Structure 1
């Protein structure tokens, strides 16, 4: 099982998970999984379709919001916020390292937290988003 980092009471992030990890996540009490990794990013990566089937078989809700590394879009952050609002918690979001999932959380968190609180929470989970701070500020503006 990969290293899971908690961002909030209802959201944790992790690096790539496997189909076998989904049963473990369900046993740990997770109720939903968000996959932020595009299919075929690496040859040995499990396909989203296979992960979705394994999640459903384990009683987990599943959402795929693929984000190309270094190209987090505003629409993806809004889709992530919608997923957080709709999916049963607790939720695990993952990508290759957990950074894209953390960035998506950070953007949607601008609705309720100031930039410093967002950066501090990400840092406490092991994700340094200081170079992402200007993006947070820009996303916050209408």
Structure 2
């Protein structure tokens, strides 16, 4: 019997230039490059989980794959306006599509919502993405309104 192939990392598209993903493995960085991403944003603080790669290992893997790397560590209970601004700037400055990750992808999505870059999304689109990531509808409603978006 042959070796069982691990499933490929499938980031969830949020915008044309941003996707979110769960914690990648080292082998995923080459796959991100193959999928057309140009930059990785790591939203996990180092030491959050003993099995995570850590920012130094991720930065090395990203650069080895020819990808840019940005570390904006946040927790679900401590995301600042500055963190959201830094994510928005990382996306704007990247030469192509960005994949932001945390443990599950939800925290990276929440940080993007807080960045206020929601004008091109309807409520239904945002709710569908939030549901896919397991984000509570009431959290999204509260933060969508505070970030400046109000499309129906």
TM-score normalised by L of structure 2: 0.80
The CA deviation string for residues 83-140 of structure 1, in whole angstroms up to 9 with x for no partner, is: 1111122111100000011011112244624772563352364443423221332333
| 1:97 correspondence with 2:104 | yes
Q: 1:85 aligns with which of 92, 96, 101?
A: 92
Q: Pairwise mapping of residues 1-142 of structure 1 onto structure 2 (< 5 A)?
A: 1-110=8-117, 112-113=119-120, 116=123, 119-120=126-127, 122-123=129-130, 125-132=132-139, 133-140=141-148
Structure 2 segments unaligned to the other structure (5+ residues) = 1-7
**Structure holding more helix per residue:** 1
Larger Rg, first or second structure (1 or 2): 2
Residue 24 of structure 1 and its aligned partner are, at CA, apart by: 1.2
Comparing 2-11 with 94-103, which one deviates more in the overlay? 2-11
For structure 1, the residue ranges without an aligned partner over 5 or more in a row are none
For the aligned residue pairs, the C-alpha RMSD in angstroms reads 2.3
Give a deviation string over 1:56-103, Cα, whole Å, max 9, x none.
111101100001133222211111111111112211110000001101
